Amino acid sequence: MAHHSDLIETDILAYLKSQEEKDLLRFITCGSVDDGKSTLIGRLLYDSKLIFEDQLAAVSADSRKVGTQGDSIDLALLVDGLQAEREQGITIDVAYRFFSTDRRKFIVADTPGHEQYTRNMATGASTAELAVILVDARKGILTQTRRHAYIVNLLGIRHAVLAVNKMDLVDYDRQIYEHITAEYEDFAEALGLQNIHAVPLSALTGDNVLNPSTAMDWYDGPCLLDILETVDVTSDITAGPFRMPVQWVNRPNLDFRGFSGTIASGTVRKDDPIIVSPSEKTSFIKSISTFDGDLNEARAGQSVTLTLSDEIDVSRGDLIASSESPPETTDQFAAHVLWMHDDPLLPERQYLMKVGSTSVVAAVTELKYQVNINSLEHLATKTLGLNEVAYANFALEHAIAFDPYKDVRDTGAFILVDRFTNATVGCGMIDFGLRRATNLTWHEMDVSKETRAKQKNQKACVLWFTGLSGSGKSTVANAVEKKLQAIGRHTYLLDGDNVRHGLNKDLGFTDADRVENIRRVAEVSALLVDSGLIVLTSFISPFRDERQMARELLAEDEFLEVFVDTPLEICEQRDPKGLYKKALAGEIKNFTGIDSDYERPENAEIVLAGGDHSVDELTDQVLALLKGHSYI
Amino acid sequence: MIGEITHLRQLEAESIHIMREVAAAFENPVMLYSIGKDSSVMLHLARKAFHPGHPPFPLMHVDTTWKFQEMYAFRKRMVEESGMDIIIHINQEGVAQGVNPFSHGSQVHTDVMKTQALKQALNKYKFDAAFGGARRDEEKSRAKERIFSFRTKNHRWDPKNQRPELWRTYNARINKGESIRAFPLSNWTELDIWQYIYLEDIPIVPLYYSAERPVVERDGTLIMVDDERMPLEPGEEPQMRSVRFRTLGCYPLTGALESTAATLPEIIQEMLLARTSERQGRTIDHDQAGSMEKKKQEGYF
Ligand SMILES: Nc1nc2c(ncn2[C@@H]2O[C@H](COP(=O)(O)OP(=O)(O)O)[C@@H](O)[C@H]2O)c(=O)[nH]1
């Protein structure tokens, strides 16, 4: 067991040889506070002799001070002693621990956080091949146990071990154990969890952790470590179809052009036929190149460099796959999404989605339902908050190749990144494609944007006015439009009045509705620009993300952001529609500047100092901008 | 039935994956090279990751000027062998002020010649990603460190603002001036490092092997008298003893270990039989509890 191997002392060379054959298991421990996670991990670390004397000395001292075990050492302190964190109130999320036995090396994802538990557990579970789900024998299966099992299943972990802990506190009672396992098996089966094991144990005494328990001779199954050492996880990923996302194009000289990546699934051999997505070009594997020489075969988990027998275009973000079982490509799919940020997910807001080595702009088009992860009930929802899980439809800016997450983790998983803060705000697991990318091409019209604009003797663009209510957006926009009319330009002004009453009358003022409001306005503006008009829009448009989205719907230089920067105090004084008064009195909710944010533009083409200048002056500044960009 | 991929090969593949991801996603990466065994492994992995090409980034050594002579010789040799460029950065202000570990103490010396020096270098060359050889098993507070560790414009590590990291899908997005530290060896343990060095026959500084070396004993720690800059206290006489080092840093701050282990298998054997964790050799950690955490926030690795 562990490093007890006498070989270390007697024949170190033989020992080292034996160590070369060890493999690796990544697992996660899940449990509620006080179920004994830390004690269990501490026990595994301690008994596998991976605790060094100085660490042990520190822990023994701590044990006497703060431990729960009197004079004997408190194993839990070995792992949850993040002293600085506790003192500074830093969120503890996922910590990784290591131990090894003569058969395997283990990486344990330990998620001691309480409040952020779902997010943290998902993070730890994403790289785990096995989950140990702890329950306290005295308490049995709790709501949390179901939640943990749900997340284990959601993240696609194929091996779960139910560890019924603290058996010493229930007199090692067989009936209690059997009652708990029966209940667990019922709902694990309902969830679809495969490969269920259960072990009665005591993390504190070590019974059935590393060694069979004499107190529980009624149990004749393997102890926990036996399961951890022998479970077969390799075939999980090598059995699938061959997939390799291209990370890096290796082109050191004219004679070598290789595509580097980590094989996500399956195996690949020299001469295998492959297809590159999304270009759908096909070729054959010419060589599997590594620093240690060419290989005849490589498989999931290996990082290699492939060369192909044809000179086809392949770049980072492409997926090289078996052409016998190619991946799907789509620009719309259904997926589970887990939200990881304080700012909620808003449908139609654009996020950066990263799948494998490819990145694409994506938005949720429909939140089908939220899953209550305690009861597993489906709930209707308009937004998704921190630690919440939903099933949703996504639309992507362009098609990507993917696999359902349950088939291949690496090509079916994605993270969502906020386009401004760059924070990782969510993650997801693709379920299925909603439509095949049928190479949908635009019908080439004979009449183009350019010809339409030319007919009007102008260049089309959008003047996107943004600013607080009462800042003067509409007044200035109106004055600019009049001037443009006067010099013979063809224009259209979109503002709250002509849009909120018709096109957008179904929308209110929640964040989600504001996003949708602006999305529609942006789309309409883009159509109007296509028709050759100079478009003026006058909306508060408080969020950077949506202004960015509008900008990206148009060609470069067609979108001119006009930030009417009038101080809030002045807007409040002006209060032309009496709205600030009502908002301050609490009669209107979600009013920008009062109880809803305005995110100031950072790269506006022009900033108008609303408080300091007359309408005429501001109008002239906008006209000067149009001249500068040769629109007039 | 296909055999399993061994643990060292899995760790190797993961490190290579991380390096390729950084090289592809960042404009101006650099590999921090400290000459120690972890750096040796990191460099070896980088050469594997981009073979048959060269790693598409330079090495950088932040030199405190107090490293062992054998480390400087080894650095020279590795640069020649790898064909990579190396940037050697020394905090010249620190040198001008005569900062050294003897008169200024380990804290000030490390802060000025290492932490500040590193910031200077990162600012000077505008690196947006820096590889470091830190491992999660080195110290409890590192156990939760990300593989892509986000740093603000001032190179600070903000523990409350680290990004969740899932699968092998790393978020490489940063704004101008911000950067990341990437830790490709995160999931390696000290034992893995040694076993891999053995398996792959990776060159390491000879100081890791035992030999007769001149040392003095101070506060129970054996310090090697590596050059004439080391002031000897009255009555102190360097003695030749058979010693080796578990970690390498500035020679006046690095404790030696009495040992006769002169080959890799013997070192590994000694390590498995002895029960003292490697950070003990680093004087810097003894200053105060939780000090790693603090150092990291300030920009030290
Ligand atoms: N009697 C008994 N106590 C245990 C066992 N496992 C853990 N404990 C105790 O339960 C408490 C919580 O354990 P800890 O490992 O900190 O739980 P965590 O919050 O899940 O990490 C501590 O007082 C442990 O000593 C066990 O198997 N038997």
On the 0-12 / 13-18 / 19+ scale of CB atoms within 10 A, B80 is exposed
On the 0-12 / 13-18 / 19+ scale of CB atoms within 10 A, A412 is buried
Among B7, B14, B174, B196, the strongest candidate for a mutation testing the A interface, having the largest count of A CBs within 10 A, is: B7
Q: Is A235:A29 a contact under the CB 8 Å cutoff?
A: no
Per-residue confidence (pLDDT) for residue B113, from 0 to 100: 86
Per-residue confidence (pLDDT) for residue B282, from 0 to 100: 45
Residue that the structure tokens 């003047």 belong to: A463
Q: Is A585 helix (H, G, I), strand (E, B) or coil?
A: coil
Q: Is A105 on the interface with B (CB under 8 A)?
A: yes
Residue type, A313: D
For the stretch B117-137, pLDDT in tens is 998 999 899 999 999 998 988
Give B-chain residues touching A4 at CB under 8 angstroms.
none
Residue that the structure tokens 């899980």 belong to: A389
Low-confidence residues of chain B: pLDDT under 50 = 1-2, 279-301
Dist CA B261 CA B194 (whole Å): 14
**Separation of CA A149 and ligand 1 centre (Å):** 20
Q: Is A618:A563 a contact under the CB 8 Å cutoff?
A: no
Q: List the strands of the sheet with B86-89, edge to edge.
A: B86-89, B59-62, B29-32, B129-131, B179-182, B148-151
Which atom in ligand 1 lies closest to the alpha carbon of residue A69?
25
Angle at B202 between CA B196 and CA B207, to 5 degrees: 105
Per-residue confidence (pLDDT) for residue B298, from 0 to 100: 46
The closest CB to that of A415, out of B16, B169, B293, belongs to B169
Dist CA B264 CA B194 (whole Å): 8
Per-residue confidence (pLDDT) for residue A43, from 0 to 100: 86
Which of A34, A167, A209 gets mutated to test ligand 1 (max ligand atoms within 8 A of its CB)? Answer: A34
Alpha-carbon gap: A360 to the closest alpha carbon of chain B (Å): 13
Among B168, B193, B288, the strongest candidate for a mutation testing the A interface, having the largest count of A CBs within 10 A, is: B168
Contact call for A357 and B8, based on CB within 8 A:
no
Query: With DSSP H G I counted as helix, E B as strand and the rest as coil, what are the percentages for chain A, rounded to 5?
Result: 30, 30, 40
Q: Is A239 on the interface with B (CB under 8 A)?
A: no
Contact call for A20 and B6, based on CB within 8 A:
yes
Model confidence, pTM:
0.80
- Is A279 labeled as catalytic in the residue annotation? no
Beta strand pairing call for A256-262 and A248-253: antiparallel
For the stretch B141-179, pLDDT in tens is 677 788 999 988 888 887 677 889 999 999 999 988 899
Which residue ranges have their beta carbon within 6 Å of ligand 1?
A 31, 33-39, 68-69, 76, 165-166, 168-169, 202-204
Q: Is A461:A440 a contact under the CB 8 Å cutoff?
A: no
Q: Is A293 on the interface with B (CB under 8 A)?
A: no
| CA separation, residue B219 to residues A221, B255, B277 (Å) | 53, 11, 19
Contact call for B175 and A256, based on CB within 8 A:
no
Dist CA A277 CA B172 (whole Å): 23
Give B-chain residues touching A17 at CB under 8 angstroms.
none
The protein residue whose alpha carbon is closest to atom 28 in ligand 1 is A166
Contact call for B275 and A302, based on CB within 8 A:
no
Q: Is B59:B31 a contact under the CB 8 Å cutoff?
A: yes
Per-residue confidence (pLDDT) for residue B210, from 0 to 100: 93
Q: Give the A window 335-354 contacts with B, CB below 8 Å.
A: 340, 352, 354
Nearest CA in chain B to A113: B144
The closest CB to that of B4, out of A96, A234, A248, belongs to A234
Which atom in ligand 1 lies closest to the alpha carbon of residue A165?
27
Nearest CA in chain A to B15: A303
Give B-chain residues touching A92 at CB under 8 angstroms.
144
Contact call for A98 and B290, based on CB within 8 A:
no
Q: Is A449:A461 a contact under the CB 8 Å cutoff?
A: no
Dist CA B255 CA B266 (whole Å): 19
Which atom in ligand 1 lies closest to the alpha carbon of residue A203?
27
Strand partners, A275: A282, A321
Contact call for B53 and A252, based on CB within 8 A:
yes
**Separation of CA A559 and ligand 1 centre (Å):** 61
Of A235, A525, A541, A596, the active-site residue reads A541
Residues, chain B? 301
Q: Give the A window 13-52 contacts with B, CB below 8 Å.
A: 13, 15-16, 19-24, 52
For A210, phi then psi, to 5°, come to -100, -35
**Separation of CA A204 and ligand 1 centre (Å):** 7
Q: Which of these, A183, A220, A215, lies nearest to A199 by C-alpha position? A: A220
Contact call for B171 and A105, based on CB within 8 A:
no
Alpha-carbon gap: A139 to the closest alpha carbon of chain B (Å): 30
Q: Which of these, A38, A47, A110, lies nearest to A74 by C-alpha position? A: A38
Dist CA A266 CA A597 (whole Å): 48
Whether omega for the bond prior to residue B231 falls within 30 degrees of 0, making it cis, is no
Strand partners, A273: A284
Q: Which of these, B43, B55, B137, B125, lies nearest to B89 by C-alpha position? A: B125
Q: How many helices (H) and strands (E) does chain B have?
A: 9, 10
Which atom in ligand 1 lies closest to the alpha carbon of residue A79?
21
Q: What is the mean pLDDT of each run of 10 residues along chain A (632 residues)?
A: 65 84 91 84 77 54 54 60 49 79 88 70 92 93 86 91 94 94 87 84 91 90 93 80 96 92 95 93 95 93 95 94 92 94 92 94 93 86 92 93 93 94 94 68 65 84 93 92 90 86 85 88 92 93 90 88 93 88 86 89 91 90 90 84
Among A5, A17, A19, A427, the strongest candidate for a mutation testing the B interface, having the largest count of B CBs within 10 A, is: A19
Per-residue confidence (pLDDT) for residue A76, from 0 to 100: 64
Give B-chain residues touching A128 at CB under 8 angstroms.
none
On the 0-12 / 13-18 / 19+ scale of CB atoms within 10 A, A530 is middle
Strand partners, B31: B59, B131
Among B138, B140, B180, B191, the strongest candidate for a mutation testing the A interface, having the largest count of A CBs within 10 A, is: B140
Per-residue confidence (pLDDT) for residue A58, from 0 to 100: 56
Residues, chain A? 632
Residue that the structure tokens 């500047």 belong to: A593
HSE-CB of A135 using CA atoms within 13 angstroms: 28
**H or E segment at A299?**
strand A297-299
The closest CB to that of A54, out of B2, B192, B276, belongs to B276
Dist CA A451 CA A444 (whole Å): 14
Q: For A344, which DSSP code?
A: P
